[in-house]
């Protein structure tokens, strides 16, 4: 054995044994070579699989991003005013004299809940959440003092949405059952006393929300033609004065806040169009209704 081969053997004895085994067993050498090739192919396959996995993750990420963009576009479309128009509850013809039922309050049930105690739980309806409102949400709006006013203040530019809210039976009946409302609607004398209370009248009519509602014709008509208003007008106390419009007119004339409503063109239009009030509109409006003027013109002819 040459000197160079001996030095190589001393540096790498395993290499020498491999060569010796290959010389003694040619078939084993071939198998070793094949195994080495197979291992290399396996490594290449794994690398290819990792590459495909990375590409798949990238594609999935792109799909998620595009889906999020689509949902954002759908949200923008949902805010279109035309999306809320046509809600079944808002446009359904309602006759409160047909099939009216009243909620029976259980003994000890407290509906006189201060808004301050409700905190962040006070539901405020909007175009974002009206489909997710539960019956309990509507009951709270009806039962909590000033909760309905608060919902108006948040939607002053959206009479369609408020018409939808005022059509909800749960909200209406919770409001009618309030301990500060139910007695007024049951007893005409209590309702009269309430109208003669200057503090109560000022507290209501001096509200910025009430002023803004009265200044908007679409909002006034939304309230006047709502299921909520129909329930108020068929209550025992209000019906008493509807049956005695001259007495109602005297009460209006003696109350500066109610007297001012006679000069509001939106109120006049609402009274003339309301199913329950239009027969007595001329008397309630102090002879200023367009219906009354039309009748006088017809008589002159």
Burial class (CB in 10 A: 0-12, 13-18, 19+), 15: exposed
Say if CB 152 and CB 209 are below 8 A apart. yes
Is 297's pLDDT higher than 60?
A: no
Residue 8 is encoded by which pair of tokens? Answer: 């190589």
CA angle 128, 132, 137 (to 5 degrees): 105
Question: How would you label 287-297 residue by residue, b for 16+ Cβ within 10 Å and e otherwise?
Answer: eebebbeeeee
Pick from 80-84, 161-165, 220-224, 227-231: least confident: 80-84
Residue 57 is encoded by which pair of tokens? Answer: 């993750």
Q: Tens digits of per-residue pLDDT, 57-113?
A: 656 555 555 554 454 444 444 445 454 454 544 444 445 444 433 333 333 444 343
pTM attached to this predicted model: 0.59
Q: How confident is the model at residue 143 (pLDDT cuts 50, 70, 90)?
A: very high
């Amino acid at each position: 054995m040459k000197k160079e081969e001996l030095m190589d053997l001393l540096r790498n004895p395993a290499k020498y044994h491999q060569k010796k085994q290959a010389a003694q067993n040619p078939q084993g050498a071939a198998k070793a070579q094949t195994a080495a090739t197979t291992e290399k192919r396996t490594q290449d396959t794994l690398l290819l699989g990792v590459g495909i996995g990375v590409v798949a993750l990238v594609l999935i990420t792109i799909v998620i991003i595009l889906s999020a963009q689509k949902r954002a576009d759908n949200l923008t479309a949902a805010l279109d005013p035309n999306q809320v128009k046509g809600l079944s509850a808002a446009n359904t013809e309602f006759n409160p004299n047909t099939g009216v039922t009243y909620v029976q309050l259980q003994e000890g049930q407290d509906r006189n809940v201060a808004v301050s105690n409700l905190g962040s739980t006070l539901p405020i309806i909007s175009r974002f959440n009206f489909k997710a409102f539960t019956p309990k949400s509507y009951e709270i709006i009806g039962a909590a003092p000033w909760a309905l006013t608060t919902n108006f203040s948040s939607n002053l530019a959206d009479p369609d949405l408020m018409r939808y809210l005022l059509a909800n039976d749960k909200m209406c009946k919770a409001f009618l059952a309030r301990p500060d409302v139910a007695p007024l609607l049951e007893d005409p004398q209590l309702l009269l006393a309430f109208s003669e209370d200057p503090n109560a009248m000022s507290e209501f009519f001096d509200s910025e929300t009430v002023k803004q509602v009265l200044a908007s014709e679409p909002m006034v008509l939304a309230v006047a033609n709502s299921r909520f208003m129909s329930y108020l007008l068929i209550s025992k106390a209000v019906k008493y004065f509807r049956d005695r419009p001259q007495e109602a007119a005297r009460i209006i004339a003696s109350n500066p806040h109610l007297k001012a409503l006679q000069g509001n063109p939106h109120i006049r239009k609402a009274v003339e169009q309301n199913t329950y009030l239009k027969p007595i509109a001329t008397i309630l409006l102090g002879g200023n209704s367009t219906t009354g003027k039309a009748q006088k013109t017809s008589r002159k002819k």
